[in-house]
Amino acid sequence: MERKRSWTWRDLAIAIPMLLPSALILGTFILYPLGRAVWLGQQRCNTRGDVCRSNGFDQYLDLFRSTEFQNALVVTAKFALISVPLGLVLGVGLAVLADKMLRGISFFRTVFSSTIATSVAVASLMWLFLLQPSVGSLANISWFQNLFPSVKNPGWLEDSGTALFAVALSSVWAGLGFTFILVTASLQSIPRELHEAAAVDGASGTLRFWKITVPLLGPTLLFIVIVLLTRAFQTYGEVDLLTNGGPSPQEATTTLAYLIYGDTPIEADAGLQAGSAVLLFVVLLALSALQVRGIGRRMSDVG
């Protein structure tokens, strides 16, 4: 028995012209550069990048095993472990505090969300002036020096033990407005009746937060975690402006993005740079898939 098609040739004739512009844009700006990077990633090039020879796709394996890539991967993972939870907790905390019907609360909402209008360059320079050991505002506060002596000598950005944390602080501050705005919008969509009914039943504020607010914020939090994690693995501007990947020789803040684009041992080899970018893409793809399957399933179960 012949199965009836769910589409007709006439539908196809209409669909092709409508999809063609999107397909052209996708192919030109996404698929072609990705394919070009994959092809270039298995090549070794001279310092000018005009003479390349193929090393085969084993080059990806060699690159992944290299000391430089492993160090950058570890640094990036540490950076993500610092910046993502800190940014998420601060953003949710500020949004919960600002989700009150109080007089003048709109002023604080504006202040909390203002960092979204601040570029990475401006935020990095601001933190550079704050943490600069000789003239930095934060580094020259007496009680702060007593609490954290390393902020003055040698300086958080010059100390390999604190440089990554200092860069993460700048990144968290710059991204705080993004998290705050999304969580605030999501909080305002939660029906007040749910909290009122739970309060009548004797539920405390903490219990209402974990049993009502957090589950209903689940999809928003999942989206924010994916975006923050992606940003963390693509961090470049803060590193370039604050530490240049140092302090050396530990290269304590050389993230994967800085390894690809910054002043690093592979900067003169377009093949190794492209290969590192492809490996970064694979890492981000795997992390996003794990988050969607793991955290997404957990959120749907809680909801």
- Residue 164: its pLDDT value, please? 92
The pLDDT profile of the chain, 303 residues, written as one tens digit per residue, is 556 667 778 888 888 889 999 999 999 999 999 998 898 888 877 766 667 778 788 888 988 999 989 999 999 999 999 999 999 999 998 888 888 766 777 777 777 777 777 888 888 888 888 888 877 778 888 888 888 888 888 888 888 888 999 999 999 998 888 998 899 888 888 888 888 888 888 888 888 888 888 888 888 888 898 889 889 998 998 899 988 887 877 788 999 999 998 888 888 788 888 889 999 999 888 888 887 776 656 555 555
The 10 Å Cβ neighbour count of residue 102 is 10
Query: What class is the 67-300 domain?
Result: mainly alpha
- Residue 297: its pLDDT value, please? 63
Domain regions of the chain by residue span: 67-300
